[in-house]
Structures are given as structure tokens and as C-alpha cells.
Amino acid sequence: MCKINANQLTYICEMKNKYIDLIEQSFEFPQDEFKVIDGELYFHDIPMMDVIEQYGTPLKITYLPKISSQIQRAKRMFNVAMAKVDYKGDYHYCYCTKSSHFSFVVEEALKNDIHLETSSAFDINLIEALYDEGIIGQDLYIICNGFKKDTYIENIANMRNNGWINVIPILDNMTEFEDLDLCIKEPTKIGIRIAAEEEPKFEFYTSRLGIRYSDIVPFYMNKIKESTKFSLKMLHFFINTGIRDNAYYWNELAKCVSVYCDLKQVCPDLDSLNIGGGFPIKNSLIQDYEYEYMAEEIIAQIKSMCQQRGVPEPNIFTEFGSFTVGESGATIFQVLDIKQQNDRERWYMVDSSFMTTLPDTWGIKQRFILLPINKWDCQYQRVFLGGLTCDSQDYYNAEAHANAIFLPTIKDRTDPLYIGFFHTGAYQESIAGFGGIQHCLQPAPKHIIIDKDENGEYFTKLFSKEQTYKSMLKILGY
């Protein structure tokens, strides 16, 4: 018979197979926003179990202070980058409203002396609502992107005609210039969006958004130069894949700055380069993005290219969406039950749907940081997460850093496990919708806001209750 001696017994007792061991062995942990006390997770020092006890699940959370700290961080990074190379232009931070239109998000962002970027007609109504509330003034830069239908053109024109001196429509195509000309009466700054080349592995060569490189200078010379109403102030470019340290990004940036220099030589009003959004967020506990380096490299490259061409360096605008709001969000579920469907596939069924609450996990296989809220002292096992719709695509089965997920073991449904997806604050409601009808009539979760008071103590506030059946039936005509 095999006997275990005292040494082996000590070893077995010390075996590190708890969930917390898995995390501590795989990552630097704790991290800035995550720590664990007595087997339970704290997000920004807030005990998540207390929040769950108060509000239940499924639950969406917005932690407002993160929005301001992200904006301040980006401003600091770009200003430091500019100081390092004695850059002559200014830096302007715009928030791109499409990443989260909620009033509490936009209002928090606006506490940080920023500007706004819009994508459609209703965005202009949103901005006017902020103005009516006295939250913003008419001198804010309002960068109007997107392909413009009549209502968008009219709303932009009304803004400008009503005193918004820094509204800057960015021409997405050449005909928009004539459309704007018909409605706008006041002298107006405009911009042009460059149609960037797509990444080589993408399905198209050139972005459908913007005006092709080779058309920009001739278009300016033929149409805009002679205008007494419009002055071309900004060149805009946005790279779909975000700001990455790869040859594709640096190549597109260089092409864009080259067009800027060509244009500047014939267009003295031009003084700003908008490099769009695309700063990434943390979607794994492995942090490998060097934000400072990227900001410094972008600024240094723009400066050096402009110097070579004898062109004054432009003011820089950014329009960070995910970076502003993504890391403020969390989505909390309860595991309702376990389903063991064969020897290897063990499903944890959550109390909501991935397709309706985190649509990017389904649409673009986006990964978010996934952590249990309780049971960090339990052993872990490999699982698949299943959502509540009947759609076979309603699942989550991999992390950004691993093609699998591991969570604490539970006995059965009497043994509740809570899990959190973190940094889910950008785009999820814009894409899935909020409060409408949803797949299999899964209700939108309760949404709470967490903020800090003047003493640095956190407090929570209910923004919206879980959606009711009545609201859905009404939409459906019952």
C-alpha cells in the first residue's frame, strides 16, 4: 500500500490550487484597481460583495472617478510628450460620445476641460441639452464626424448659425461641403477626414470613411480655397485597429502627416491634426501597452516630419472613446447553475445574456477582464460560461491571454458564485441598445453609478432599475 510520509503530507497541504493562487502565480497581483480580502474582490477599493448584497445581479456599474483619471492621464502624457521635444502646438482632448452617451458619463468627462466629438444628428441634440443645462459653453470644440444625412447637416448648421463658434464639421465626402454651404451662414471652420488604408488582413483596402488621399489637395484647391465662408482648419484620420506600435500604424501616420504638410503649403488656415481615437484599454491582467511611449513617439514623429518639410507643427486633437470610459465599467453576474454536458464541458450558466449585455464578446470576440467576486479561496476549474438566450452563440469561453477560462468550483446552485467582467464601460449599450427589446426578451440589467464624496468615501446611486416586462411589451405593441 502506498503511504504518504510527513513531508509529502506537508507538501499536499501547501499545494497551491486555490483560485487566488492561480491569479497570483499568473500575474502581478494585486493591481491598481483589483485586490482581494478574505476571498472577495475589491474594485477600486470597493467591496464588490457589498454592492451585490445591496443591488443584486445582474448589475452594470459605472465607477465615475476612473473617467476623470483617464482623461487627466492622457492629457499629462501628451503634454509631457510635447514638452520633451519642445513641440509648438497645443493638445486638445475630445471625448467621442458614441462610446457611451449616458449623461453621467459625458458630464463626468466634461469636468476635465475637454471637447466633444459627434457622429450623428442626435448627438447635436445631446450637446444642446448639455448647453441648456449650463454644463457647457458655445466655445467648446465640437468635432462632427460621420457620413452626414440632411438632419445632421441641418443640426450642425443650426449650431453654427446660433453662435457655436468652434463647431468643426469634418467632411466625410466632398458633397457634404455643398450641403453645408447651403445651410450655414456664418464663417465656419471645417476639417477633412482622410480615408485611411485598412490593415492588410482586413476585407477592404481603403476605409469607406473619409476622402481618399489623392483627392484631398485638389478638392481643397477647387472648392474650399476660394470660399469666403469656410476655412479648412483640421485634417482628421482614424485608424480602425487603434493606436498600435506596428508598422501599419506608423506608416499610416506618416502618410497622414505628409498630406498635412502638402495641404499646409497651400492652405495657411490649416493648423490642426486630429489623430482620432484608438488608445486601447486593459482587457487582461497582463498589462503590455506602453501609453507614454506611444504618445511620445506620435508627437516626436509628427514634429520631425513637419520639421523636414518646413511646416509648423499642428495642434493635436484626439477623440478617445474606449480609453475615456471603458475602464470605468463593470458587469456583474451570478452563476445560477452548473451544466455538465459531457466529460469535459462544464457550463456555468449566468443570470443574463452575453449577447445582450456585452455584445462585443459575441460580435467581435472582444475579451474583458473576467474575475470571480467571491470564493477566491476555493479550488478552480475550467468552465464555459453560458448566457440565458437560446442562441448557441451566447457564450464566453476564452480570456485575452488564454484560450480557456478558469473559475472557482461550486457545488451546485445552492452555492452562489458571482463573477465580474471589468472595463466594460464603452460601446456595449450603444451596440446592444438600452431598454429596448432584446434577444429572447432578456431584460437590461440594473445600472448603478459609483462615485466618491469630498472625503474620498465611495457612494452608490441607482441609475436604472432592471428593465420590466411592461417596457418591452409596450414597444412590441401589446
From CA 406, how far away is CA 339, in angstroms rounded?
Answer: 15
- Minimal CB distance residue for ligand PLP: 277
Question: Restricting to residues 277-296, which ones interact with ligand PLP according to CB under 6 A?
Answer: 277-279
In the complex, minimum distance from the CB of residue 43 to ligand PLP, in angstroms, rounded to a whole number: 22
Q: Mark 408-447 with x for binding to ligand PLP (rule: CB under 6 A) and - for no binding.
A: ------------------x---------------------
C-alpha cell at 148: 452626414
Size of the site for ligand PLP (CB under 6 A): 16
Give the one residue of 48, 77, 82, 96 binding ligand PLP; rule: CB under 6 A. Answer: 96
Asked whether position 321 contacts ligand PLP by CB under 6 A, the answer is: yes
Q: Which strand (E) or helix (H) includes residue 272? A: strand 272-274
Cβ closer to ligand PLP: 274 or 389? Answer: 274
HSE at residue 120, side-chain half, CA atoms within 13 A, is 5
Q: Strand 46-47's sheet: what is its strand order?
A: 34-37, 40-43, 46-47
> Where does this chain touch ligand PLP (CB under 6 A) — which range of 31-39, 211-219, 274-282, 429-437?
274-282
The whole-angstrom separation of Cα 48 and Cα 310 is 55
145: contact with ligand PLP by CB under 6 A:
yes
Closer residue to ligand PLP (CB): 213 or 320? 320
> Containing H/E element for 107?
helix 103-109
Binders of ligand PLP among residues 176 to 195 (CB under 6 A) are none
Does 99 help bind ligand PLP (rule: CB under 6 A)? yes
How many other CB atoms are found less than 10 A from the CB of residue 461?
11
Burial of 329 from C-beta contacts in 10 A (0-12 / 13-18 / 19+): buried
Quick check: 242 binds ligand PLP (CB under 6 A)? yes
Least distance CB 149 / ligand PLP (angstroms): 17
Q: Give the Å distances, CA to CA, from 37 to 34, 46, 67, 84, 375.
A: 10, 11, 25, 41, 11
The answer to whether residue 319 forms part of the interface with ligand PLP (CB under 6 A) is yes
| Interface segment toward ligand PLP; rule CB under 6 A; list 175-183, 256-264, 319-327, 432-440 | 319-327
8 Å CB contact between 103 and 64: no
93 binds ligand PLP (CB under 6 A): no
β-pairing, 315-320 with 272-274? parallel
Q: What does the binding site for ligand PLP look like in residue numbers (CB under 6 A)?
A: 96, 99, 117, 145, 238, 242, 276-279, 319-323, 426
